[in-house]
Structure 1
């Protein structure tokens, strides 16, 4: 019995992992944002003063979809590295940072906790950096695929801070109540 996998078997393993993980990452990211009513259309968020560097709202959906695909491929590369030293720890740290990622939207958009979201995203920044280091030890390309993610969440950290500076009285505040309109 041969215990060494052929290159074809390794590619097939990576493909199978990616086939499951990429859609899962995108789906979970979408569900988290949707459940938290993130972005425009959320009355509380619409009432916030936006920082000058705030990009057009459509940017977020495009960028996050790309980032979730990159995360899924990166994770698939590490999961396919069967027998690699440190793989279990790397996957566990990835799971922690991904849970932090998914928790940010409900905290910011759903609970209106700008300060707590800023603390959370600061921890997320560090967790992604650790994930990149651990992934790079197993598959350097897997670590590189997460660099755009780190860059984006660093930008998001700045945006979170800028929202807090521009809206200190709305931190933790209830959003405007929905308005009922009657036509006569």
Structure 2
């Protein structure tokens, strides 16, 4: 079964996710220099891994949002997209708190809020479009791993 792709919606969805992520990183100064100076918990990947992973995650998130946005109108769809946008805003702020302001413990709490938003969004996306829900799962799992890393940095620094 093939469906027509709404290229404008697809590019906007991908652009919002990927562009917002790169903008947050640029503003926050998430370079590996700050990260390399921190005492990190076990399993911490090298700093270069984060840019690669986040690019893939933002692509998956943008694609998931597109599938929902381009789907049938419903109150649940609107709730899912609202949670998605709020989650993007919360996600946008995290590197500012962590890298720019060095608020490591506050960042962990903020990340916990993000995880709740992402979990709820993923659930709604999954109920609307199973592919969209599955595309959000790596993001949720990475946020959980990021919380582990963030708590480790909070405790160790």
For Structure 1 versus Structure 2, the TM-score category normalised by the shorter chain is over 0.9
Q: What is the aligned partner in structure 1 of residue 14 from structure 2?
A: 22
**Residues 37 and 110 of structure 1 are in contact (CA less than 8 Å); yes or no, is this contact kept in structure 2?**
yes
Q: What is the aligned partner in structure 1 of residue 25 from structure 2?
A: 33
1:58 maps onto 2:48 in alignment: yes
Q: What is the aligned partner in structure 1 of residue 142 from structure 2?
A: 152
Cα deviation digits, residues 77-97 of structure 1 (max 9, x gap): 000013244111111011111
Matches of 2:5 and 2:64 in 1, distance apart?
Answer: 15
**Hey, which of these two has a bigger chunk of helix by percent?**
2
**Residues 36 and 47 of structure 2 are in contact (CA less than 8 Å); yes or no, is this contact kept in structure 1?**
no
- Tell me the C-alpha RMSD between the 2 structures: 1.6
Runs of 4+ in 1 over 3 A off after TM superposition: none
**1:48 maps to which of 16, 26, 38:** 38
Pick closer, same or farther for the CA change 1:134–1:84 going to 2, 3 Å.
Answer: same
1:12 maps onto 2:2 in alignment: no
Q: Which structure: larger Rg?
A: 1
Matches of 1:51 and 1:24 in 2, distance apart?
Answer: 32
Q: Given the two structures, how large is their TM-score scaled by the length of structure 2?
A: 0.93
CA drift of 1:17 comes to 1.6
CA drift of 1:117 comes to 0.2
Matches of 1:164 and 1:145 in 2, distance apart?
Answer: 30
The number of residue pairs the alignment matches comes to 157
